[in-house]
A and B are shown apart, each in its own frame.
Chain A
Amino acid sequence: MGEDDLSTEFELIDLSGIDLAILADLRNSALAQSIRRVRQAAEDPDEAILSFQDSI
């Protein structure tokens, strides 16, 4: 895969206008959950706690 393809693939997605009803049909719920989290974070200014990598 060329460097240009890599840039395009990882371009951050603009969430405005994405219909969550459409996302509910997505096969993988991990993607839908992540989009939901981003929307919630945009509404809640209190950032969630950044976790130490060696604990879960």
Chain B
Amino acid sequence: MKGHSDSTTTEWPTTDDLAELTAGQWQPTPIRQFVLKVHSRCNLACDYCYVYQLADQSWRDQPRQMSRDTIAAAATRIAEHASRHRLPSVGVVLHGGEPLLAGARFFADTARILRSQLEPATAVRLTVQSNGTLITEQLLDVLAEHEIFLAVSVDGGPDAHDQHRRYPSGRGSYTDVANGLALLSHDGYRRLFSGLLCTVELTHDPVTTYESLLGFGPPRMDFLLPHGNWSARPPGFPADPTGNGTNTPYADWLAAVFDRWYSVPEQETELRMFREIIHVMLGGTSHVDGIGLAPSSVAVIETDGSLEQVDTLKSAYHGAAATGLHIDHNSIDEMLRHPSIVARQCGLAALCEQCRACPIHRICGG
């Protein structure tokens, strides 16, 4: 599917589609989670990374690190949005690139700036999503002092992890990540451990992968599907000319993990994907982007202050996540009227006929 970030594009959704989608009583959903791309570079060269290895290359135009002025401006915009919508809490994810490249002091300063603008009216949950190679005691002391949680990306045991998650030199990163997680598991820091993310690799046994991750004692974990689209299909997913979806390698892989996770008398860890699917099946509303039809309430603030959609869209085409908005000139509420944001918030109305005809479209979300 071709596409570009030009505002004159005729790709769906357009401003005309927006009028149709939002006719009647529809109101936008306030943003509740803000992803701050605090560092635009990374010390790893993971070969599936949507920031550096796929269609979008906008990282090249970003400053290396988010400046203090940009953080302050972001905090002002978030506080403005929270106040307008009387939000009791927001989540702020410090992301990248690799956020720990910013250094421990950066996180202390960022936490102070955000909390001074938002609290006590709006509680702030701060999380760092890291590749785990730069965890030190000094860093963890700062995170502990400022109540900042830490989540790490690990792809299983040593062989599975090092297949894709390597340094630019080609050396695997598993040893450094395992050492970092060992520190994080110490008594004084364990409460900061938010969880693990693992990208599915079909060539590695699913149960072995899951049990390797369990070895780190995470409070929760999730499996991410490798990025793909109709133009560039995910690894191991050959073209299906029938369009009937009879080839399901990722479902088969995840089903094996589910059976292992679900079969124990007492749950060993929270597994977000399965938890959310069960929750939606039982009539609940999903709490993670990518499952169900709940309105997306996530906004990304790029390193230079640009406001963007969820940056996993960057796997599609260059500029796919762009909105043309910036925190220096635009409010978060203006972002809520962007056609692509509306499309991710209007639920069933945004699904094509093929998706609506599917018996599980309310669980999948299309």
Contacts of B282 in A (CB 8 A): 12-13, 15, 34-35, 38
- Chain A CB count within 10 A is highest, among B32, B281, B284, B297, for B284
Tell me the interface secondary structure of chain A in the complex: loop
- Chain B CB count within 10 A is highest, among A30, A38, A55, for A55
Contacts of A14 in B (CB 8 A): 283
Instruction: Give the contacts of B65-104 with A (CB-CB under 8 A).
Output: 88-91, 93, 95
B196 within 8 A of A: yes
Nearest chain A CB to B255 CB, angstrom units: 13
Tell me the interface secondary structure of chain B in the complex: mixed
- For the complex, what is the distance from the CA of A50 to the CA of B317, rounded to whole Å? 25
Q: Which of B139-147, B162-170, B245-253, B356-364 contacts A (4 or more CB under 8 A)?
A: B356-364
Are A52 and B93 in contact, CB atoms less than 8 angstroms apart? yes
Chain A: residues with Cβ within 8 Å of the partner, total of: 30
B221 within 8 A of A: yes
Are B290 and A53 in contact, CB atoms less than 8 angstroms apart? yes
What are some 30 contacts across the A-B interface (CB < 8 A)?
A6-B359, A10-B363, A12-B281, A14-B283, A15-B283, A27-B265, A29-B267, A30-B271, A35-B282, A38-B279, A38-B282, A49-B33, A49-B91, A50-B32, A50-B33, A50-B289, A51-B287, A52-B35, A52-B93, A52-B95, A53-B288, A53-B289, A53-B312, A54-B95, A54-B129, A54-B310, A55-B197, A56-B151, A56-B194, A56-B272
Are A55 and B129 in contact, CB atoms less than 8 angstroms apart? yes
- For the complex, what is the distance from the CA of A30 to the CA of B363, rounded to whole Å? 17
Contacts of A10 in B (CB 8 A): 281, 359-360, 363
Residue from A29, A50, A54 in contact with B297 in the complex, judged by beta carbons closer than 8 Å: A50
Nearest chain B CB to A2 CB, angstrom units: 11
| A13: nearest chain-B partner, CB-CB | B282
